[in-house]
Amino acid sequence: MVFVVILTLILLITLLGVYMVIERNREKAREAQRRMFNARVKQVQQRFQSHLHEYEEARILRPKHVPQLNAICSNFFVVQGHNEDNLTYLEYISERVLQTLDSELAKSYVRNDIDTLAERIQYFISELPTRGIEFNAAFYHDILPTLLTQLTSSDLSDHEQLKDEPDETEDDVDEQQEHSSARHETV
């Protein structure tokens, strides 16, 4: 009987030890996932912030507007849960903001109309929330995409694109006329 009790205690101690090792490994795995998650969040935020500073150095954005735009990315997880879907959406929406600013900048350079872009950016910034609690799911899924659409100007028309390209068609027409007149003279 004593032998059975001792064997049972040894088994219980062994099971407890195995359970503790398994739990420790699970905790390490969770911690590694949290670190990877936080690293991705930090990477998205740093990329967004570095682009904003590039715009500031290029004098596209005023220094006072950089923190307001940076709040789009830095306040994402203030109200929303820390999960993979939200992180993926943060990556998407921050990239969309940067792409919109890049494309609008390119269009304004082609049109030589930086002032209009500055006005649209000013309006965009004025519509952003001022408190961290207002950066909620409704803002990111409904309001921000609408604001980005309003920031976007129409695409360049064919006429605007042709203004910046050298006018080769007139030269080609002149050359063709010279060749045809030279043929008529020789005939």
Across 25-57, b (16+ Cβ under 10 Å) vs e yields eeeeeeeeeeeeeeeebeebbeebbebbeebbe
Residue 159: per-residue pLDDT? 42
In Å, how far from its chain's centre is CA 39? 16
Instruction: Give CA–CA dist 185/183, Å, rounded.
Output: 5
Residue 116: per-residue pLDDT? 85
Which residue stretches of the chain have pLDDT < 70?
155-187
One-letter amino acid of 180? S
Q: Is 184 inside any structural domain? A: no
Q: Is 181 inside any structural domain? A: no
Q: What is the largest CA-CA distance in the chain?
A: 128
Domain hosting residue 115, numbered range: 2-154
- Total structural domains within the chain: 1
Across 127-158, b (16+ Cβ under 10 Å) vs e yields ebbeeeeebbeebbeebbeebbeebeeeeeee
Q: What is the pLDDT of residues 45-66, one digit of tens each?
A: 999 999 999 988 888 888 899 9
Take residue 167 and report the two structure tokens written for it.
């006018």
Residue 165: per-residue pLDDT? 47
Residue 45: per-residue pLDDT? 95
Q: What is the pLDDT of residues 23-33, one digit of tens each?
A: 999 999 999 99
Residue 42: per-residue pLDDT? 95
Q: Is 185 inside any structural domain? A: no
Take residue 52 and report the two structure tokens written for it.
């904003």
Q: Is 127 inside any structural domain? A: yes
